[in-house]
Amino acid sequence: MAAVLTWAALLAGCTGGSGGLDIDRVLGKPPSPEDVIRVTPDDGSRAVRPEERLRVRVPGGRLEKVSVVASQDAQDTPVPGHLSADGLTWEPDARRLALAAKYTVDAVALDAHGRRSARHTTFTTYVPERRFIAYVTPENRSTVGTGMIVSLSFSQDITDRAAVERAVRVTARPPVDIRPHWFGKNRLDFRPEHYWKPGTEVTVGLGLRDVEGAPGIYGLQAKTFAFTVGRSQVSLVDAARHMMEVRRDGQLLATVPITAGAPTHPTYNGKMVVMDMLEVTRMNSQTVGFGGEYDIPDVPHAMRLTDSGTFLHGNYWSPDSPGHVNVSHGCVGLRDVKGGGSDTPAGWFFDRSLVGDVVEVVNSKDKTVAPDNGLSGWNMAWTAWTAGSAVK
């Protein structure tokens, strides 16, 4: 009789108010989602550093589903990741977190007793006070000459040049070996060993976002640029003969009279690349360190060749000089008229030129132009160029 009463009491203790089995009392109180699914960084965390670890795990049972989204610049990007073989841990594929982003984590898991739990957490990452960007040459979707060099000028000095270099990818179709070279702390150029082949399509991928280029200074851009290489045009300026040979796709197109730098201000020797083309511009000697020697407000058909101020341009103020005498302050002048004429040598050449065309000067009394003066990297031997990479 005592045994029967004890068993009845046990059964009574295991039933709920509706007469069913009370699972909570048999298995214990269901754990909270926070105990079943553990997420780091903690829910609501702010200013999480990019090197901190994102991890979703369960102490027992298994994870059924994990979804992570990073919101950055009003765009939601799924974060790819992977489960461990035992199903207990999920981690993202990327090693570092994105900066200035809000992360949203949604996870579903079964605990060791087969009970399902779901958890939703968020955290935000560190917003850097200092950023850097790259100014890219040439322009996106442009058609350029075969001498174009891809040049990135950074808004901040770069100390971790290898990290930044790895984040930039320059590719071509048809494929060609393209190598980087650093000029100082804020300029990175890319080129092949020889001039581009006409028709080549070049793509520049900037994966600079969140790359730490210097202590506490992070990249901002995640963009792609592209340009197309047009026909080949290489012009050879002979400063001693006062003539320029213009070759298109290897064939002589024309021989044009020129005036180069006077003996006191000779023109650089070497290969220079057309950087910019201006229908008309002002040239003031004070901007290039010549004092008040000249100030011409309407120089026609001006094509910049160097950062230091070398141009190939129309000359209307000394019409008898081209072909006979060198009178400029280092520029290459072609005969023109005031306001610029389309039927003058300068107008003819301007209308047939592209940014990226090569102008090579020989037989001048000056030194060879420095490789970092404009897009003059073709004056550097290939072995020296490739040695300028920060990634060994």
Which strand ranges, in their side-by-side order, compose the sheet holding 38-40? 38-40, 55-57, 89-92, 81-83
- Read off the tokens for 22: 């009370």
312-335 residue pLDDT tens? 999 999 999 999 999 999 999 999
Question: What total of structural domains would you count in the chain?
Answer: 3
Instruction: With beta carbons less than 8 A apart as the criterion, state whether 73 and 143 touch.
Output: no
DSSP 287: G
The confidence score (pLDDT) of residue 337 equals 95
* Same-domain status, 96 and 157: no
Q: Which of 124, 155, 179 is the last residue of a domain?
A: 124
Q: Which residues contact 340 (CB under 8 A, 6 or more apart)?
A: 279, 280, 300, 301, 314, 346, 347, 350
Structural domain contains residue 392: no
User: Where in the sequence is the domain holding 154, given as residue range(s)?
Assistant: 130-230
32-75 residue pLDDT tens? 899 999 999 999 999 999 999 999 999 999 999 999 999 987 78
User: How many residues belong to the chain?
Assistant: 392
In CATH, what number is assigned to the domain containing residue 59?
Answer: 2.60.40.3780
* Same-domain status, 50 and 144: no
The confidence score (pLDDT) of residue 199 equals 98
328-368 residue pLDDT tens? 999 999 999 999 988 999 999 999 999 999 999 999 999 99
Q: What single-letter amino acid sits at 92?
A: P
Which strand ranges, in their side-by-side order, compose the sheet holding 217-219? 130-132, 217-219, 212-214
Structural domain contains residue 388: no
Instruction: With beta carbons less than 8 A apart as the criterion, state whether 261 and 326 touch.
Output: yes
**Which of 1-10, 290-299, 324-333 comes out lowest in average pLDDT?**
1-10
Q: Which of 73, 94, 124 is the last residue of a domain?
A: 124
* Same-domain status, 86 and 192: no
Closest listed residue to residue 97, CA positions, set 214, 218, 224 = 218
Structural domain contains residue 120: yes
Structural domain contains residue 59: yes
User: What are the b/e assignments for 359-387, b being 16+ CB within 10 Å?
Assistant: bbbeebbbeebbbbbbbbbbbbeeeebee
* Same-domain status, 193 and 249: no
Structural domain contains residue 15: no
List the catalytic residues: 313, 331
Rounded to two decimals, the pTM is: 0.81
* Same-domain status, 144 and 224: yes
Inform me whether the pLDDT recorded for 20 exceeds 60.
no
Q: Please, which pLDDT band fits residue 9 given cuts at 50, 70 and 90?
A: very low
* Same-domain status, 84 and 150: no
Asked whether the bond before 345 is cis by omega within 30 degrees of 0, the reply is no
* Same-domain status, 328 and 255: yes
Structural domain contains residue 22: no
* Cross-strand bridge partners of residue 278: 302
* Same-domain status, 317 and 367: yes
Q: Please, which pLDDT band fits residue 289 given cuts at 50, 70 and 90?
A: low
* Same-domain status, 136 and 180: yes
CB-facing half-sphere around the CA of 276: CA atoms within 13 A: 13
Structural domain contains residue 23: no
117-162 residue pLDDT tens? 999 999 999 999 999 999 999 999 999 999 999 999 999 999 999 9
Inform me whether the pLDDT recorded for 261 exceeds 60.
yes
* Same-domain status, 94 and 165: no
Structural domain contains residue 16: no
* Same-domain status, 266 and 331: yes
* Same-domain status, 153 and 196: yes
